[in-house]
Amino acid sequence: MAQRLLSGMMNYSDTSIVASAPFLSLEGVRKTYPGVVALDGFSMEVRAGEVIGLVGENGAGKSTLMKILGGVTRPDTGTITVDGLAHDGLTVEASIGSGIAFVHQELNLFENLDVAANIFFGREPLRAGPLKLVDRAKLRTQVAPLLKRVGANFSADTPVAALSLAQQQMVEIAKALSIKARLVILDEPTSSLPIAETDKLLDVITALKAEGISVIFISHRLHEVERVADRVVVLRDGMLAGTLSKSAINHDQMVKLMIGRMLKEREKAAESARAPGSVALSANGVRTSAYPDRPVDLDVRHGEILGLAGLVGSGRTELARVLFGIDESFGGSLLLDGKELVLGSAADAVASGIFLVPEDRKLTGILLDLSIAQNISLPNLSAHARRSLVSASAEAATAEKQKSNLGIRAPSVATRTGTLSGGNQQKVVLAKWLAMNPKVMILDEPTRGIDIGAKAEIYGLMRALADAGVAVLMISSDMEEVIGVSDRIAVMHEGQISGILDREHFSQENVLLLAVGKRPK
């Protein structure tokens, strides 16, 4: 067994959260896969009514730990103790019976059913004896108090398809409460949420704690962990890197335990006093399908990172789809370097040097079953063809160059992309466009679900693009990201640009005021 990372590193304790004995503990848990040690002698305890922030880079062992707690995976060695009874592993049934419930990053809801049917799916109260009809009245009666506990502002009869992401998260938490959960594990619950809806979800976590329900909160948004956690447990390379008590939780200490060093402070645009470049892409009166009666005017300059902020539904992604030629504009015009640009398809945008890194990289950014090399060459196969046949060696040569330039961590460029971490998958999406010399790069939620170390690398790549003269448009719901990375910030409200902030006017308050249609201070 590798030497424990605990030695020589920070490990904090806090008597404020040891008033009650742990009802759940893991001791010396180890799990290996062929060639990989996923967990190595990991130990932790969970007490009633505490919020534990679980952090670590992608590949640190968080997913394996969750599978072990959920009974999906059995540890090779170690002990799991529940209410004083020791087990060498849990089954799914034993995990549920112990009161352990999960809310996964990818929600497991049926959008064609209503809220009540989702919460009690497979456990519906029945009536009419052998006919076994669902007792809808009783079902609504059982669901109503659960929705009240999570602060829901919708009813049991509401179709799930009509709910926002934050409201769907509440349905998942209500489902957990319906099985009398004692521990709710939230896996990246805020990764797709803007600030307003994130705040609501964090308030739900506080309410669960007040009821004596424990929460394991997994997030790459460290400021949220700092806000809600009573204790932080840090995983690194499958081992416990250390713990932080409430008084010791801060961004820098979490990062140091996660990656073994302090990250350099994020580069600020103002530090270099960059002169604004000429306008690369200009949208004049552009109208999207979401808001066809609201024209958008926006300029993105060469050599800048323009942050595009706004609440969910403000029209940011719809604007990106028009700028990339996926959707047709309902009016207005586009200019690229001062010349009229007509986009009939995404292929026209690519041919013009306008590229999009989409919000959902797994769905629309990469093909998970293809190799790194195949993904990188896919948008530009003609450049890798010999006599109309794609050359594997040409693909590999381009991919090797991008793998080196972007620091893609993989055994080889022949590695299947679906096996990579989120951060490395995002680098593959970037790599396929960087190989084609972009003029304008649009990034929609570029660091969603990515750990802190990979985020820093993505920010560095974005800044390098801007320094090379590329116009970068970054759409993000992460306020820290927008303020920390952008040279200017444009804010959308109900389909229009409500204002643009220069760096001297950057603040969360100003961004939020513009996002709700008010004037900044």
Report the domain count for the chain: 4
CA distance 190 to 168: 12
Query: Do 237 and 380 reside in the same domain of the chain?
Result: no
**Residue among 217, 243, 250 at smallest CA distance from 53:** 217
Largest distance between two CA atoms of the chain: 77
Is 90 inside any structural domain? yes
Domain boundary among 132, 155, 180: 180
Q: What is the pLDDT of residue 6?
A: 35
Q: What is the pLDDT of residue 389?
A: 86
Domain boundary among 180, 202, 222: 180
Q: What is the pLDDT of residue 384?
A: 79
> Rg of the chain over CA atoms, in angstroms?
25
Is residue 241 a contact partner of residue 258, using CB atoms and an 8 Å limit? yes
Is residue 391 a contact partner of residue 459, using CB atoms and an 8 Å limit? no
Is residue 217 a contact partner of residue 53, using CB atoms and an 8 Å limit? yes
Q: What is the pLDDT of residue 378?
A: 85
In order along its 521 residues, the chain shows pLDDT tens digits of 333 333 333 343 343 444 578 999 999 999 998 777 889 999 999 999 999 999 987 678 888 899 999 999 999 999 999 999 999 999 999 999 999 998 887 778 898 999 999 999 988 888 877 888 888 889 889 999 889 888 888 999 999 999 887 788 889 888 888 888 899 999 888 776 766 678 888 888 998 999 899 999 998 888 889 999 999 999 988 899 999 999 999 888 888 888 765 555 444 444 444 667 899 999 999 999 888 999 999 999 999 999 999 877 788 989 999 999 999 999 999 999 999 999 999 999 999 999 988 877 777 778 888 899 998 888 877 777 787 788 888 888 888 888 888 888 888 899 998 888 777 888 888 888 887 888 999 998 888 767 677 788 889 888 988 998 999 999 998 888 898 899 999 999 989 999 999 988 998 888 888 987 888 87
Domain boundary among 149, 180, 211: 180
Is 202 inside any structural domain? yes
**Residue among 493, 502, 503 at smallest CA distance from 309:** 493
Strand partners, 354: 440
Is 472 inside any structural domain? yes
**Residue among 309, 195, 269 at smallest CA distance from 504:** 269
**Residue among 196, 204, 221 at smallest CA distance from 51:** 204
Query: Do 432 and 341 reside in the same domain of the chain?
Result: no
Domain hosting residue 133, numbered range:
110-180
Q: What is the pLDDT of residue 313?
A: 76
Query: Do 1 and 88 reside in the same domain of the chain?
Result: yes
Query: Do 95 and 4 reside in the same domain of the chain?
Result: yes
Query: Do 83 and 187 reside in the same domain of the chain?
Result: yes
Q: What is the pLDDT of residue 8?
A: 34
CA distance 69 to 78: 12
User: In this structure, what DSSP letter does residue 45 have?
Assistant: E
Is 359 inside any structural domain? no
Q: What is the CATH classification number for the domain harbouring 209? A: 3.40.50.300
CA distance 509 to 8: 41
Q: What is the DSSP string of 385-441?
A: EETTEE-HHHHHHHHHHHHHHHT--SS-TTSBGGGS-HHHHHHHHHHHHHTT--SEE
Query: Do 51 and 152 reside in the same domain of the chain?
Result: no
Query: Do 483 and 519 reside in the same domain of the chain?
Result: yes
> SS3 letters for 197-229?
HHHHHHHHHHHHHHCCCEEEEECCCHHHHHHHC
Is residue 47 a contact partner of residue 21, using CB atoms and an 8 Å limit? yes
> How many CB atoms are located within 10 Å of the residue 283 CB?
22
Query: Do 120 and 60 reside in the same domain of the chain?
Result: no
Q: What is the pLDDT of residue 388?
A: 78
175-229: pLDDT as tens digits: 888 888 899 999 888 776 766 678 888 888 998 999 899 999 998 888 889 999 9
Query: Do 409 and 469 reside in the same domain of the chain?
Result: no
CA distance 456 to 439: 23
Is 104 inside any structural domain? no
∠ CA 61-66-71 to the nearest 5 degrees? 130
Sheet-wide strand order for 239-245:
100-103, 183-187, 214-218, 51-55, 231-236, 239-245
CA distance 186 to 165: 14
Which pTM value belongs to this model? 0.63
Is 358 inside any structural domain? no
Is residue 363 a contact partner of residue 448, using CB atoms and an 8 Å limit? no
CA distance 322 to 343: 8
97-147: pLDDT as tens digits: 999 998 887 778 898 999 999 999 988 888 877 888 888 889 889 999 889
Query: Do 89 and 29 reside in the same domain of the chain?
Result: yes
Alpha carbon distance, N-terminus to C-terminus of the chain: 57
Query: Do 65 and 188 reside in the same domain of the chain?
Result: yes
Query: Do 146 and 289 reside in the same domain of the chain?
Result: no
Q: How long, in residues, is the chain? A: 521
CA distance 357 to 336: 19
Strand partners, 336: 281, 339
Residue type (1 letter), 215 = V
Is 172 inside any structural domain? yes
Q: What is the pLDDT of residue 21?
A: 82
Is 270 inside any structural domain? no
Q: What is the pLDDT of residue 281?
A: 96
